[in-house]
Amino acid sequence: MKFSLSLLVFASAATAAAAGLAGNRRQFSGAPTLTMGILRGQTGGSGPYLANYTTDPTLPAHTIYLPNVIPAGLKLPVMVFGNGGCRADGTSFLSILTEISSHGIMVIASGSPAGTGTTTSKMLKDAIDWVVKSAGGTGSKYAAIDATRIAVAGQSCGGVEAYDLATDPRVISVGILNSGAFSGQQAASFKKPTFYFLGGSGDIAYANGERDYKLIPAATPTWKGNLPVGHLGTYAEPNAGRFGVAVTRFLQWTLRGNTTAGEYFVGKGATADGWNVESRALGDIKTTPIDGTTVG
Ligand SMILES: *[C@@H]1O[C@H](CO)[C@@H](O)[C@H](O)[C@H]1NC(C)=O
Ligand SMILES: *[C@@H]1O[C@H](CO)[C@@H](O)[C@H](O)[C@H]1NC(C)=O
């Protein structure tokens, strides 16, 4: 029951033609009910700012990841995230989201901690609306948050949700993890830097992600990496393994303006880590350091 429910959500999140859905359900039928217990092991992340999750009564259906201590002068950009399976459990991807946050990024995942039920892409929009409303302001709890630097991302079913926000004018970069639309031309409208992190030909979303990478306009900076580990990535490894490294660098670059992190994609770093990569127009990614502490 639970399983078919998440597939239904997958379907409604996509703009797929009804005719394609039976095949898509089969296609994504290996999509998990991930081994969530493993993903819950955490260390606070490997970055300079030990991070954890929290909640806020003004955003009750989400989970917020932040450094435990935000040093004076540190500005934080934001990533909003749709979980795999479109599960409304904001701690189901705890390892990678903590890892990302430990590098100076606020993460907002759909769903409360250990929450139940399913998400929709509207919850990503709700998170963005909340950031725009809550960020900044002298002395406010979220004074360090920079609402002009927001990325949308998601894994599997959550990646399909992220597609719906990829053209939101407030979003400056897009991360698609083990995902791609079921069908349709949505990616042909993407203009913001879009990065695909796929699990190779054994990933149930491989064909969809590969197809969409090709659909993205030639002028849009885009990168695609395949690590041959399948649909569950390396999320169960400490600090989310090589998916943790790559997704973090994508955000350090596009959100924090850290060009050293960008070298991972422009240079040989990702390839050296085992990613099979393709890219277009990465030279057109224009970033400026988010604050005095980001010098690359
Ligand atoms: C993170 O916060 C949760 C909930 O408050 C707590 O149970 C957990 O121990 C914290 N983890 C770390 C590493 O501090
Ligand atoms: C920039 O990114 C690199 C690679 O992830 C990291 O080692 C470095 O500490 C970052 N620099 C700053 C100032 O955050």
pLDDT per residue as tens, the chain (296 positions):
233 333 333 333 333 322 232 333 333 433 444 434 344 456 799 999 999 999 999 999 999 999 999 998 899 999 999 999 999 999 999 999 999 999 999 999 999 999 999 999 999 999 999 999 999 988 888 999 999 999 999 999 999 999 999 999 999 999 999 999 999 999 999 999 999 999 999 999 999 999 999 999 999 999 999 999 999 999 999 899 999 999 999 999 999 999 999 999 999 999 999 999 999 999 999 999 997 555 44
Rounded to two decimals, the pTM is 0.89
Give 62-88 as a 3 state SS string.
Answer: EEEEEECCCCCCCCEEEEEEECHHHEC
Ligand (nearest to CA of 98): 1
Query: Which atom of ligand 1 is closest in space to residue 44's alpha carbon?
Result: 13
Please give the distance, rounded to the nearest whole angstrom, from the Cα atom of residue 105 to the centre of ligand 2.
12
Q: How far is the CA of 163 from the centre of ligand 2 (A)?
A: 28
Closest atom of ligand 1 relative to the 52 alpha carbon: 1
- Please report, for residues 208, 236, 263, the alpha-carbon distance to residue 269 in angstroms, rounded to integers and kept in the order given: 25, 22, 7
- Residue boundaries of the structural domains of the chain: 2-284
3-state secondary structure of 213: helix
Cα 4 to middle of ligand 2, angstroms = 42
How far apart CA 8 and CA 25 sit, in angstroms, is: 8
Ligand 2 contacts (CB < 6 A) are 249, 252, 258, 260-261, 293-296
pLDDT at 75: 95
pLDDT for residue 105: 98
What is the residue with the minimal CA distance to atom 4 of ligand 2? 261
Integer Cα distance of 72 and 124 in angstroms? 28
Q: Which residues line ligand 1 (CB under 6 A)?
A: 42, 44, 52
Q: Whose CA is nearest to atom 11 of ligand 1?
A: 52
What would the CATH number be for the domain defined by 2-284? 3.40.50.1820
Pocket test for ligand 1, best of 49, 50, 52, 94 (most atoms within 8 A of CB): 52
In this structure, the number of other CB atoms found within 10 A of the CB of residue 47 comes to: 19
Q: How far is CA 245 from the centre of its chain?
A: 13
